[in-house]
């Protein structure tokens, strides 16, 4: 059949140039509206998937409100709506230099161009070897480094090494137990929960735990004795020494978070407690495991927290800030005597039967090496000490507030404890969610804070500048006063 010519088809009215222009504007507006609706719909879909399907750690999912970060710049997080938040929690205590640090980004890209992953089962990457050398130079007194992907696994490694060490020395040994402290947090595996002491984390899993000897949490704010003249250090050390001495024959190791128990609410130990425990361990032939996942890598003002009390533990666990918050990386540093026990012989090879797929990943190690270079170049440890003093000074007006019980910390691990009555240290009823409400106010004002119950934790990046420290303090003070009234 012959196709109709144009003249045979229905007539098409011609548009004037004005009509065409108006139509173009209308079409553009409609396209923009559709694009906006499409973007809004995509964001709502993202939030719905987050709400319904993504299971967030340590988060009540029934009341969770989606909080989705799209990107970050420097010390700020930027959500999918473009709102900015000062990252005052270091993305859960691990950011060192902030986000998008060019030197670290470049190091990761360069490593990616060479090799992304190499197993540590019988081989390694040159980058992982270089990091190992750096870690041992910065922590004298250790012989080997065992890598993991997270802090809990690094502590799990330390527990297993301590246990197996005594078995290698004496297969019939009775040294099979660990001593840890109340309110301790060492991770979420069954082994690390066993030596942990935070009831709300542990309660449901307690039938799975192995037997642990527990000492009191050496809390400087809420001491064992109500006698104000009592020496907190002597009280806690007396108890710890008594337990170590009484159980030395069955103790494989004492496990401790040096100086500060962070997850307990930035609980600071009396100065000298760590040193006293270390001396008692040496005296009674008990190993010492220092869990510095949260307090190490510069967080408390020195690269290794133990160095502040001249202590070298038998096993040292590092994580969080080790890779500057870029990629999963943790490490267990091992003393010469433990390393030697695993050397083995020709007849009996010294194999430690533990290892995870991504331990010592080269990309993570590249980030760690670049971070160490920046820490040295920019004197970040001195910055931690200066910013710590500045933050404590800036928070001083809160000390007179009737609902502020304590302001405490070491380095850039600082807490403001909110209480119903400051003099008696009486806590608020948990149902009031005071700490959560204060942090929600701060976050709405552009400073992201996350509480531990009614303890507001301040853990900014180690390289943070003075102006952002002032901003954190001002926003927190305003948030406390908005929620609880003025001082």
> Distance between CA atoms of 351 and 353, rounded to whole angstroms?
6
- pLDDT cut 90: percent of the chain above it: 88
pLDDT band (50, 70, 90) for residue 39: confident
Strand residues in 60-131 grouped as ranges (E): 69-73, 76-79, 84-87
Q: Which of 314, 287, 342, 352 is nearest to 168 (CA)?
A: 342
Query: What would you report as the CA-atom Rg of the chain, rounded to the nearest whole angstrom?
Result: 28
* CA atoms within 13 A of residue 147's CA, in its CB half-sphere: 26
Q: Out of 27-41, 99-113, 234-248, 461-475, which region has the weakest mean confidence (pLDDT)?
A: 27-41
Mean pLDDT of 130-139: 98
Note the pTM of the prediction, 2 decimals.
Answer: 0.92
Burial class of residue 201 in the structure, from the number of CB atoms within 10 Å of its CB (0-12 exposed, 13-18 middle, 19+ buried): middle
Q: Angle at CA 448, nearest 5°, toward 445 and 451?
A: 115
Mean pLDDT of 216-230: 84
Long-range (24+ apart) CB contacts under 8 A made by 371-377 are 371/96, 371/97, 371/104, 371/321, 371/322, 371/323, 371/324, 371/326, 372/134, 372/138, 373/103, 374/96, 374/97, 374/101, 374/103, 374/104, 374/324, 374/463, 375/96, 375/298, 375/303, 375/462
**pLDDT tens-digit map of 164-212:** 999 999 999 999 999 999 999 999 999 999 999 999 999 999 999 999 9
Mean pLDDT computed over every residue of the chain: 93
pLDDT band (50, 70, 90) for residue 349: confident
pLDDT band (50, 70, 90) for residue 36: low
pLDDT band (50, 70, 90) for residue 16: very low
Secondary-structure percent of the chain, ordered helix, strand, coil, rounded to 5:
45, 15, 40
Q: Out of 65-69, 294-298, 350-354, 435-439, which region has the weakest mean confidence (pLDDT)?
A: 350-354
Mean pLDDT of 445-474: 98
> Distance between CA atoms of 438 and 434, rounded to whole angstroms?
6
Contact between residue 162 and residue 169 where contact means Cβ atoms under 8 Å apart = no
Residue 12: pLDDT over 50: no
Name the DSSP class of 430.
G
**pLDDT tens-digit map of 378-409:** 999 999 999 999 999 999 999 999 999 999 99
Given this model, what pLDDT does residue 344 score?
Answer: 83
> Distance between CA atoms of 399 and 421, rounded to whole angstroms?
13
Given this model, what pLDDT does residue 225 score?
Answer: 78
Q: Are strands 330-334 and 144-148 parallel, antiparallel or unpaired?
A: antiparallel
Q: Give the CATH number of domain 20-100+379-484; options: 3.20.20.70, 3.90.1150.10, 3.30.930.10, 3.40.720.10.
A: 3.90.1150.10
Given this model, what pLDDT does residue 23 score?
Answer: 53
> Distance between CA atoms of 300 and 152, rounded to whole angstroms?
20
Instruction: Print the SS3 string covering 360-424.
Output: CCHHHHHHHHHHHHHHHHCCHHHHHHHHHHHHHHHCHHHHHCCCEEEEEEECCEEEEEECCECCC
Given this model, what pLDDT does residue 350 score?
Answer: 86
Three-state DSSP at 300 gives coil
Tokens of 40: 């809004």
Tokens of 286: 């008990």
> Distance between CA atoms of 110 and 210, rounded to whole angstroms?
45
Q: Are strands 212-215 and 76-79 parallel, antiparallel or unpaired?
A: unpaired
- pLDDT cut 70: percent of the chain above it: 92
Residue 309: pLDDT over 70: yes
Residue 240: pLDDT over 60: yes
Three-state DSSP at 483 gives helix
Q: Comparing 20-100+379-484 with 102-377, is the CATH topology the same?
A: no
* Helices within 151-217 (DSSP H only): 151-169, 190-195, 199-202
Q: Which of 122, 120, 94 is nearest to 367 (CA)?
A: 94
Higher pLDDT, 178 or 227: 178
Burial class of residue 468 in the structure, from the number of CB atoms within 10 Å of its CB (0-12 exposed, 13-18 middle, 19+ buried): buried
398-415 per-residue burial string, b: 16 or more CB within 10 A, e: under 16: beebebbbbbbbbbbbbb
**pLDDT tens-digit map of 317-342:** 999 999 999 999 999 999 999 999 99
Contact between residue 91 and residue 98 where contact means Cβ atoms under 8 Å apart = no
Contact between residue 291 and residue 62 where contact means Cβ atoms under 8 Å apart = no
Domain ranges, ordered by start, for the chain: 20-100+379-484, 102-377
> Distance between CA atoms of 478 and 487, rounded to whole angstroms?
11
Q: Give the CATH number of domain 102-377; options: 3.40.640.10, 3.40.440.10, 3.40.50.300, 3.75.10.10.
A: 3.40.640.10
CA distances from 309 to 274, 312, 408 (A): 7, 9, 19
**pLDDT tens-digit map of 267-292:** 999 999 999 999 999 999 999 999 99
Torsion (CA) 350, 352, 357, 360 in degrees, nearest 10: -80
């Amino acid at each position: 059949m012959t196709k109709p010519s144009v003249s045979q088809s229905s007539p098409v009215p011609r548009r004037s140039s004005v009509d065409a222009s108006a139509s173009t504007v209308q079409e553009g507006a409609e396209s923009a509206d559709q694009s906006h609706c499409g973007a809004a719909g995509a964001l709502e879909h993202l939030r719905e998937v987050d709400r319904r399907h993504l299971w967030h750690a340590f988060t009540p999912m029934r009341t969770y409100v989606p909080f989705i970060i799209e990107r970050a710049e420097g010390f700020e997080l930027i959500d999918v709506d473009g709102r900015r938040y000062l990252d005052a929690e270091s993305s859960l205590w691990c950011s060192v230099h902030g986000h998008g640090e060019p030197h670290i980004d470049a190091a990761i890209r360069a490593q990616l161009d060479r090799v992304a992953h190499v197993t540590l089962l019988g081989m390694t990457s040159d980058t992982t070897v270089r990091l190992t050398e750096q870690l041992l130079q910065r922590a004298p007194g250790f012989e080997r480094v065992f890598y993991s992907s997270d802090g809990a696994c690094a502590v799990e490694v330390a527990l297993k090494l301590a246990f197996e060490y005594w078995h290698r020395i004496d297969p019939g040994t009775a040294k099979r137990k660990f001593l840890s402290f109340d309110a301790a947090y060492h991770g979420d595996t069954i082994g690390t929960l066993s030596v942990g002491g935070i009831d709300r984390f542990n309660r449901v899993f307690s039938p799975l735990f192995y037997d642990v000897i527990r000492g009191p949490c050496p809390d400087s704010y809420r001491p064992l004795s109500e006698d104000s003249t009592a020496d907190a250090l002597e009280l806690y050390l007396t108890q710890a020494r008594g337990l170590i001495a009484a159980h030395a024959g069955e103790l494989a190791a004492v496990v401790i978070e040096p100086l500060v128990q962070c997850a307990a609410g930035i609980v600071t130990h009396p100065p000298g407690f760590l040193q006293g425990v270390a001396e008692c361990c040496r005296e009674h032939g008990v190993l010492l495991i220092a869990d510095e996942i949260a307090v190490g890598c510069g967080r408390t003002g020195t690269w290794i927290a133990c160095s502040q009390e001249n202590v070298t533990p038998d096993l040292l666990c590092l994580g969080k800030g080790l890779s500057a918050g870029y990629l999963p990386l943790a490490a267990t540093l091992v003393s010469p005597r433990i390393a030697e026990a695993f050397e083995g012989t020709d007849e009996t090879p010294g194999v430690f039967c533990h290892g995870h797929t991504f331990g010592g990943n080269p990309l993570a190690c590249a980030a760690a090496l670049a971070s160490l270079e920046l820490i040295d170049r920019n004197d970040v440890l001195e910055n931690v000490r200066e910013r710590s003093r500045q933050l404590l000074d800036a928070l001083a007006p809160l000390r007179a507030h009737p609902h502020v019980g304590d302001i405490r910390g070491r380095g850039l691990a600082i807490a403001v404890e909110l209480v119903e009555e400051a003099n008696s240290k009486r806590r608020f009823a948990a149902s009031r969610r005071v700490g959560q409400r204060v942090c929600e106010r701060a976050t709405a004002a552009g400073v992201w804070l996350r509480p531990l119950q009614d303890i507001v934790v301040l853990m900014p990046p180690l390289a943070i500048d003075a102006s952002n420290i002032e901003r954190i303090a001002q926003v927190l003070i305003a948030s406390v006063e908005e929620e609880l009234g003025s001082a």
